Structure 1
């Protein structure tokens, strides 16, 4: 018998130009294969995972093995414990089908779909039957398959013994069927095209998943199956050079079709996220209804399987019979699906808050804060002149009134529930994102941040209790832009070419990064992936440096870092382990990247921290360290992204009266360090 060429779990038989399945039992005990011995969970897993079916040809069969494996998990048995008798009975039935899998033959290419057969077919059988219900044109009769006689005494059919005249993939269509049960989910895809006035249908691939152990409703599982179909269609489109003129997604769940076709997406997160991905990958018009009895994907969602699924005339390999008919004879779709409203999982609105927004010019029509402010003042002036019979002079008071009204407008749009709650109950909801700010409403009804610095002297109220604005609101963006331009903050748009010294502090920071990378990467050529990982770690290190003074008392808040502005948190990553120079010679690229990151950290600390200590080559005296100074401790051997800081508790001068040693109070206790290893943090 032709052994064939093995690849990716399949066997190619060149003589027949067909594909078979590589089912090997070499590593599996014979008594388990023959059903004599009850397998353990470990042995059962070894058999099930030995079948490599990357295209999903055998999904109705392989999914049953995975369902049985899942049942062993539900029984809570150990790895080397025999499976229960009830599962063993189903296991033996599954093994009997496994032994017959090697008899299946599939065509290597789509055009030869009618060569599908089993090895044990009768030797004198005729050519494979033509597809059901060929579509004949009234002008030209459908062409019959052209067959060559078999050689005398031949017991197997070759690819040359029976062929069809090929007319190309005309009117190519992609059909996907999806279904789910409490046991499994499945999506299966077929090509449908016209060839010599005949309708041809070919199996492409399928994807199956077992249902999760956590109890999930059937409509949710059906939605997950629909997502499987959408992803499978996207993969097929990317991996094939031939593109279909139409795509059809067939589903027998009226609830899922209602979800997909409904424009109002007021659903729970599980439903909304999956509908969002389906919307990106498919079109609403692609989805159609198919009765369950005509849904071929149903065959791969059962916990039982019969070998007849893989017969030459089975719908699993040849596609549903209605695909061989004209589109007018396909299952009729419904306009209004009949669904259970409980299954739809709507998110209901608990209450509606009236915003009562003040009448101001639309901020979205302005690109300047001053222009918006002046336009609002003009509106007030017009009202004062026409309605209140006042002078309508635009002065500082009117500008202040306009600013307050615009701030209230922005706050009511961003935090309507919080403002409403503070007006009625004098507190905000525990789930409010403003809870940690202790918000309150001032005399003008403006939302401000609370705090514990009311007793601070000579500090204006606007500083002690700043106004709360949402950074995403257009008014807040206009205000930030206004003061950014007013303060003449530098950026890459204003610095002339070849003038990095104009960058000041941030260009100095870039220099430390370049210098450190030059040392770390000297005579090293890491791969692109390693370099990208290293640069990501470098970005995290640089943006994780502290910017402000924070108390070193246990439980106090962490220091403000650039990451707080970029990500909303310090984003301190966990230490992944200890790495040394031996990691640079391993094949594990991620360890190389981590070692290089550690080397960068050690070098960068030496480059950056000394810049915080003013140096004048000892030609002039500098302010010595004193008790109460907030300092960084320069320690290149500290873990990556670990910034040791504290407050000077005591200073110890040398014989020259210069401070040489200091005691520093940190969260870990009192540390004694050389003054050369300490950098004062500027506080003003």
Structure 2
């Protein structure tokens, strides 16, 4: 393979051609076809020509390249993507090296490169004119050079890639992709104005430049453009009818607006305010379809201008320039989806009130199913005399889940040992509980860390307590974290105990014995509360109380006369006691239990929560603007199939919370 470069010099009318450079290359060891070798030789010529032009600073000189291979010339004259990989790579390199060159075909006998390929003796080389000056016609003017037409040989493999037949269908330009990419109208208008300037620059429109800042006129043109595009997409038939002078049906929403097309081509409201002394935009507002993306951007801009005002204020701001079909409905819907407004409304999720647990509906002995909670702290004094020291004490409140009976114990500290001692005193007088219910540790707001640790389901203290309960055959159940309303039974008891305690002692400090005595009296009062409203029957003087299930009567009732002198057999006395006890349970099931049938709140089920829903995690310690944003990762439905507890993931951690602590954000995935 070889390549030869000649330089043609014009000296007046005389044209001289002389040899400048040549290069030969041995064929590679890898066997190649003749067309591929000729293509490689042509590539050698292209590289050599570029080298000579760079060295002699002849970058702008006219260049002609010849090859005696018609196949090579066919490859070079077509796009590189048409050929297979070997030819494609070299043709692509050709086109980069010889962008301004003219390729032509020369017969092999007139190709001086063959002299180097075939070889010449020294005697032949000295007098070989073809080698030193090229073919004779090269010294003539380029217009008289011979031309040789390409003849395609059908028997030669051109290494062409298989053809792919494409069927193209013209589609309208997707103009709406741009508007869907922005959540701010101002940003949309600015980007649109810049795009319009760029298009004008490509069209060589006078005074069009990208260097100057955007003007008010540019933004106004962008605004009118999007209004017209939106109307053309949603009001295509209506615009055609108006241009033809046709009328709408009476039920059409545009009929009452008497619309017309203004001088800018915008569909506007006709109305009855032609002579009103207001601006033209307020008299003839642009009509915007409520389901369009532009309507959402306009409402969002109006809400920002009114500082997140309500529906009426936002609608008034809109009506100064636009008439969005649907009136208040689209504005109200947008405000309901606004995250900042949702934070301030604090509309928490509410599920249908669940079924009462079996522990509250089973006619079993008192305190067989018990709920426990802590109250306090309460300040105590070490003794009555002078020089006493004050310290904190706590109240352990045990509530019967069935009869609402209350048992109160004073705890000197909040250690596991202190609670175990109180629990031992409770079970010694009330019997061992089958089930024990309590809040999780996170519900003890304001309590010390040790108290929360005591009631945390994963702490060492709770394991110590659980081992004690297991030995007694008691099952300890925790409510979900952050859900104090799940333990409404003992929360109500805590409230009642505090009610009597604060009114009795006020700011006084009591000793441990005095507080124990006072709590026993408060316990008697609470166990004397009626479980059902008193009737108007003058003969019904006694109400069913928790004390009836403990001692057969209310603890605060005056003692009855002794019946020991009456001649009643032991069997009759035992039957009398059983009859009274059965009467208590009958009144409990027919009176008190029926009062629990009605639902006092949370009347409707909700099904808005699903995996992936975006929510706000409420926290009473912070303002709504600082509530954490979270996403639901798991649902925990109850026995009725309704979800009241979910697992959520915040930016820092994963939590399990009741839905009452969540604010559901009405945001679709496309709006996120």
TM range (shorter): under 0.3
The structure number with the bigger radius of gyration is 2
Q: TM-score of the superposition, structure 2-length normalised?
A: 0.27
Q: Which has the higher contact order (CA 8 A, sep 6+)?
A: 2
